[in-house]
Structure formats: C-alpha cells, structure tokens
Amino acid sequence: MRSASAHRQPQALGNPACVVGANQSCEHALVDQDLNERLYAYERKVRGRFTPIVELLKTLSGLQHERDFVPQAQQLAQSQLGYDLPEIMLGDAWISGLDLRSLYAHCIFRSFKACIDGSAEDQSPWLSRMAIDAPFLQACGYHTLDISPCADGRLQGLLPFVFRLAPNESVYLKAYAGALFDIEGDVSDWTLRELERLSSNAKGSDSCNYLKIAVYHYSTSNPSHQGCAAHGSQDHQATIAAIDKLNELRAAIDNSFGLGAAPETLLIGMDTDTDAIRVHLPDNQSAHSAQRYVDSAQIFKDTLGLSAQSAREAITRTVTSAARDCGLRSGMQRLIERLLEANLSQIEYVIQHHDGRYSDIGHNERFICAGEAMNELQLRNKFYFAHLDTVEEGAADLDVGIKIFTGLNVSRGLPIPVLVHFHYCSRVPGARERTIHRCQRVKSAIESRYASLHTQGFLQCQMAISDLDRSERCTWVESSQTAVVH
C-alpha cells in the first residue's frame, strides 16, 4: 500500500486529484488502466481526423495556382485526412480562388462522417469493458436511462469517459443548453417507452423503472467564467434549475398518469476542467437537494493508496453516510456507487493524458449539431449539440451555439459548420421523405435566423439523416434533393 501524500502535490490551480511528475505514477487501485489506454487510443484516433484540417487548407491555399494543383491537393488530402476532396471545389481554383470556407466546412463534415462510419471498429476495443452496461442497469432496477446533459461540447464524452457507461439501446441522450430539458418531450418519450415495455413484455421489465438523469456542469478553476453559459456561470443557479426540471417532470407524469407513475430521477454535476462528478443523493420520493451530494474528486483523494476492496468499502461508507436521512433505494445506491467508482478511472485519465486539468478548459468544439445527435461519436469538445424539433423551439440553444462559434471560428475567419441531423424509422412508411423535408425546413430557418453570417459564407449547413433501425447512418442530404411527402 502506498501513501497518498507521497505523490500528491496539488498545483496552485487546485487540481482535485494529483499531478503526475517525472517518474511518478499516479495509480488508484480502482482505476481500470487498460480501459484508459483503450479510450486514449480512441481519443487520439478521432481527434486525428480533425487536427490536420486547418494546416492542410493553409497548404492548399498556397498551392492553388499551381498547374498540377488538383492531383497535388488530392494526394495531400488522402495522406493527411484519408479521403478525397470534391473535384468541383478544386477545379476552378486557378481562376476564381479556392472557397476555403466551404472547403473547411466540407472537411469538418467529412471527418465527422469518417468517425460515424468507423465507429464500430473505433469503439469495439473499449465498449465491452465499460463499468456500466444494460444488464447492470437492470440489476439496479432500471430498464431505461434518459440522460439530459447541458449541450456544451465539454460534456460530449459523458457516457464512455465520464460515466464509463456503454451506449446501448436502453440509454437515451438528449442535450439542452443548461440541461433545461423539454418537459413535454420527455413525457412523450416516457410514454412511448412505457408502451414499448408493456407491449414487448421484456424479461424483468415489469420490476424495473425509468430513470431520468440531469447533468449540470461547473468549472473548478475558473468558476465565474467557464461554468455553464446558459446560467451565466452561476453554479448554484445551474443546480437549482436542474432540480426544478426534474421535479416538474415527475409532477407532469404523476398528474397525467396517476400518483406513483413518475420515473425516478438523479442529479449529477460535472467539473468540465477535470471530469470529476458530484452525484446528488435523491430521497425516497426522488427529491434532490443542492447540498446533498458525494464528490468523486474527494473520494479519489480519500481512497488513494487503499486496496481495491478497502476503497470500495470507503465509497459505500461515504454514500451511506451522506444518504443517512434520505432512504436511498438499494438499487439506486448501487448505481451511484458504481458511477463514483467508474469516474475515478476518468479522473486518472485526465491526470495522465491531460495533466490533471484540460488545457482547453473552455469551448473548443468543431461544429454545431442541430436536431438529433448520433450516439456514434462521444468525445469531449467535438461538437456543440442543440437538440431541437424546430428552430423556433430550439432558438435559445442555437443562439448560444452561434455565439460560442462566433468567438471560436468567425473571429479568425473560419465559418461555423452546422450539421442538421434527424432520425427516422424505416418501418414507418414515408418517414424518410418527411425527415428530409424536416431537415430542409430547419436548414432554411437557421439560414434565415443568422442571415448576415449566411450571406457572408460564415454559416455552412449540411443536412444528414439516419435510420433508427440502422439501415443507414448519417447519409448526406443535398439541398437540391426533392422531398416527397406522403
């Protein structure tokens, strides 16, 4: 057993766990080191598809008047990005100049598509090692997890990295600015899920419940500037707003379907600097308190140097003690303990691979995804997600996204790539055509809302659709494509 103090030297910034110095190892007995290596390989692979884009375009910009520009450009794109660029965007460069904004957006979308197409292969090394999967959730008493984090891109790696939760068919992820999820939309999702459950009569489903999780976030190193933009970086406000939403959802379902029908709820806070979490402990009525939580960063510090068994027992003691007055259900306690334990691996991941605290503690997303996100890409700061059905309803989320990207991209001459993506169900006749039509409506509405950016070429929209039954994923829809509405 090692002494915790022997290699814990918190920096001036106040890292919650530790800093790895020369020849120091920073291993916690409950950390899954092998899983961390697999996730790091995934992170490098995915980021590697985006990192070369800007430098490549700078090179192309310098070469565009060369006589053999097109073959040179294609050779460079293939070697650095792994795909060809559209000939139509290169062919006229000698006379009219490269449209670098369009080309930049094209590359962002094309690299994203490469992540979608390669997701099964990219994720298979870590998917089966996740600490929380569907059978575990069922053992805790949950048939469905409906998770609403903030749309902030820093929460994009929530499932596999921060929660170590395997994305699966019983997990729904819908992000909203400030984690302010849509009550009517959630009631509708809950109703549909209950109907599916009752009609399928799936094994064990009658004894399980639906669990709604809201995830707010905060920044420990720059709390008043790098917290949640939707709440003016006021942590307490972000927490209370999420609690109110969870209460409203329970009331909506109880009032509509009878007392006792409401799903269980869980509130989690996330430090976007370090990926540590605060798990709030619900009472036996699923009510939350802003002050009643267990902090994984504190657990990391308290249990470092202990054996795996002792550390696990310490987690149980901490949760039991914090929950002494709330009558926590045993399945919920088991889930909370597993979430805390799994997060210790992520704290160590950030220590080992990001010096204990992300260098980009603020926004650094590559594009905005408007509509419905795909589960295939789960990595911090890859895209800002605005969950919406119509632009009118999602305007607040989109405005926040556009504001973020005006600082990130427009300020240095780069456009804002916006992917408009929706799912359809191929079992439903006409659904594909209706979804294409919906993409076109949303794209037009976005271009009208941000008309000034659009006319200057600073807003680049791409439409895409995916089948819920997975016959196609992220298929591009061209603006000229005619939607046949049945």
Contacts with Zn ion by CB under 5 A lie at 150, 152, 228, 230
> What is the nearest approach in angstroms of Zn ion to the Cβ of residue 235?
11
Q: Which helix (H) or strand (E) holds 105?
A: helix 100-117
Name the one residue in this structure whose structure tokens are 């000939």: 87
- Which residue, 152 or 348, is less far from Zn ion as judged by CB? 152
> What is the nearest approach in angstroms of Zn ion to the Cβ of residue 130?
25
Residue 460 three-state SS = strand
d(CA 9, CA 16): 10
- Which residue, 216 or 422, is less far from Zn ion as judged by CB? 216
- What are the structure tokens assigned to 340, written together? 């805390």
- Which residue, 228 or 414, is less far from Zn ion as judged by CB? 228
Q: Tell me, rounded to whole angstroms, the distance of Cα 51 from its chain centroid.
A: 19
Residue 367 three-state SS = strand
Q: Are 479 and 440 in contact (CB under 8 A)?
A: yes
- Which residue, 60 or 213, is less far from Zn ion as judged by CB? 213
Sign of the dihedral through C-alpha 265, 269, 275, 277: negative
> What is the nearest approach in angstroms of Zn ion to the Cβ of residue 151?
7
d(CA 189, CA 6): 50
> What is the nearest approach in angstroms of Zn ion to the Cβ of residue 154?
8
d(CA 202, CA 275): 35
Residues classed as catalytic: 152
Rama region for 87: left / alpha / beta (φ>0; ψ in -120 to 50; rest)? alpha
- Which residue, 194 or 275, is less far from Zn ion as judged by CB? 275
31 CB-contact burial (10 Å; exposed 0-12 / middle 13-18 / buried 19+): buried
Q: Which of 362, 346, 411 is nearest to 16 (CA)?
A: 346
- Which residue, 86 or 407, is less far from Zn ion as judged by CB? 407
- Which residue, 18 or 276, is less far from Zn ion as judged by CB? 276
> What is the nearest approach in angstroms of Zn ion to the Cβ of residue 435?
28
> What is the nearest approach in angstroms of Zn ion to the Cβ of residue 269?
11
- What are the structure tokens assigned to 385, written together? 């997600």
> What is the nearest approach in angstroms of Zn ion to the Cβ of residue 362?
12
Strand (E) positions, 233-295?
264-271, 277-280, 293-295
Q: Which of 237, 224, 142 is nearest to 180 (CA)?
A: 237
- What are the structure tokens assigned to 100, written together? 């670098």
47 CB-contact burial (10 Å; exposed 0-12 / middle 13-18 / buried 19+): middle
> What is the nearest approach in angstroms of Zn ion to the Cβ of residue 141?
29
d(CA 168, CA 419): 23
- Which residue, 42 or 293, is less far from Zn ion as judged by CB? 293
Q: Which of 378, 381, 397, 379 is nearest to 389 (CA)?
A: 397
- What are the structure tokens assigned to 214, written together? 């809201």
